[in-house]
Amino acid sequence: MTIFKHLIKHKLHIAILTIPITLLMVGCSGAMPASSWPNSIMADNNLIIANNNAVYAISSDFGKLVWKFPDKPDSTRSQFYTSPAYTNNSIVIGSDNKHAFTIDITNGNEVWNFDATNNKSGTAPTGISVESELAFFTSENTLYALRISNGQTAWKFESAKELWAPPSSNGQYVFLPGMDHTLTSIDISNGSQIWQQHLTGALADSPTIYQETLYTGSLSNSVYAIDASNGMIIWEFEAKGWVWGSPMVIDDYVFFGDLDGYVYALNRANGREVWTSQQLDSASRGTPAYSDGNLFVTSDNGFVYSIDAISGNTVWNIEIDSKNADRLLADPIAHNGLLYITSMNGENIVHAINQSDGVIVWKFNPE
């Protein structure tokens, strides 16, 4: 989750968790992803990291461990790959073994958990978003609306195919992206469908909400601006490659990267191209981070780039770890002058980097 998206969602009392998934080279399939990867968010000046068998809270200034959930290995409390969410002094997290949990942010203790296995074994990508008094939990093809106070189901909504990403919400409606190429608006009060728009490709990440417009990428090269009130397409832009991550909106511009390794800036009003960056070393999946006029993006092959948001020119780039930390798939996070990078592999799962020059300040090793 980017800082800009966090600010929007904080204003609307929304927090988003996303389920990361490794790309299958069939954008329309909706098949079970082959694997997942770690993700992080910033909450109360702590970095919260979901990394397979545990969720970690570490201090953002020095990278020191604050707490770990669970304390000991647990077959149910595992397979954490979602981007955690923060609301009402709780961390909400989903696991690929079809469970959702809330965790007290002060001490890492479990508050409640929800079981979506329906007495069936196996794994599935899951996601959670939180709005007001409800948490929206996706597992397989079902969206569950859970009461934040106790984890009980308020309503549920079934999609035609598996869901790879959680919905976004503006407090009145829930906007659900689907692997069946659909974006669906759902009444937050009762789970009834308001509208559904069929797009040209599968949607692998949550739409970004800015004012009354939804912005989403797709696994068909297209990026869309969609009217949140009726689902009508305002404009469509064709990128060079598939667009996995959610676009970022800053003032009059829309920024995103694609799987061909390009980063784009579009005019928010009409979708026209402002600039396209030089090609990166490899694909860029996560949503860019933004701070003080610069975009920060990561690549599959382990590089981090600082890009001038006005010109699209590269300011600096570094390789995180040439021996281990390939595959930077999670969204980078910009906070208080530092950039936080979560790695899929390597000895250190988090690197904190100076935004100004790309110098690594500290690293976090969970062991």
Query: What does the block give as tokens for 67?
Result: 């707490």
Q: Total domain count for the chain?
A: 1
Judge if pTM exceeds 0.85: yes
- The boundaries of the domain holding residue 86 are 3-364
Q: What is the pLDDT of residues 275-322, one digit of tens each?
A: 999 999 999 999 999 999 999 999 999 999 999 999 999 999 999 877
How many Cα atoms are found within 13 Å in the side-chain-facing hemisphere of 177?
Answer: 33
- Give pLDDT, residue 295: 98
CATH assignment at residue 220: 2.130.10.10
Q: Is the pLDDT of residue 224 over 70?
A: yes
Tell me: pLDDT of 1 over 70. Answer: no
Lowest average pLDDT, out of 80-84, 147-151, 195-199, goes to: 80-84
